[in-house]
Amino acid sequence: MNRMQRIFTPIQRQKPSILRLTCAPIAFKSIYSVRTFATEKKPMDWQTFFTLRKSRKRYELGTGIVSAKFDPTEMIFGIDPLFAYAIEMILIGALSFVAGNLVATPLWRVLRSSQTLKEFDAMETQFLKRLKKYRPSDYASVGAGDNVGYLDYFGERIQSVKDYRVK
């Protein structure tokens, strides 16, 4: 099949996954089209990877909110409401942290296509290997009192290629 036959082929009933763009002379506009198949996808780039990584983190934080604020006004189990409220706040915070990571990541993965997830997982593995390879050798020995901020061991603060190159 030569190039012209491939570009200008009659429109037939096609699956919804195929994108059809009309690109034909005016006389043939209704019966000829250019086809772009879903198999001709480019590999995931780093900017898309960082965008997906940021999206996953937001899902984790968003699903951590598992309860609304409440204000007890009477004794709870014989404990002053102020102490009961403080204990409940600590427990809800811990539960939110656990729920955010246990619920959000699977939910985020369900909402993505399997091809995107394969590419994302491969790029995340490559990203973590790069962090490990180019991390300074004295990184583990840096203490909290050295005014370096918190150590970003897994690159959580890196949100773009620019951030990666700066940090």
Q: Where are the alpha helices (DSSP H) in 111-160?
A: 114-134
End-to-end CA distance of the chain: 51
Q: What are phi and psi of 149, to 5 degrees?
A: 75, -175
**118: pLDDT strictly greater than 90:** yes
Considering only residues 33 and 1, tell me which one the structure prediction assigns the higher pLDDT.
1
pLDDT of the residue at 126: 92
Indicate the pairing of strand 19-21 with strand 32-36: antiparallel
**CA–CA gap between residue 100 and residue 60 (Å, rounded):** 5
**45: pLDDT strictly greater than 80:** yes
Band of residue 41 on the pLDDT scale cut at 50, 70, 90: confident
Evaluate whether 72 touches 27 at the Cβ level (below 8 Å): no
pLDDT of the residue at 121: 92
pLDDT of the residue at 125: 92
pLDDT of the residue at 25: 45
In three-state secondary structure terms, 99 is helix
Considering only residues 52 and 148, tell me which one the structure prediction assigns the higher pLDDT.
52
Lowest mean pLDDT among 30-34, 55-59, 111-115, 155-159: 30-34
**CA–CA gap between residue 96 and residue 144 (Å, rounded):** 26
Number of residues assigned to the chain: 167
Indicate the pairing of strand 32-36 with strand 9-10: antiparallel
DSSP 8-state assignment for residue 45: P
Mean local confidence (pLDDT), 15-40: 48
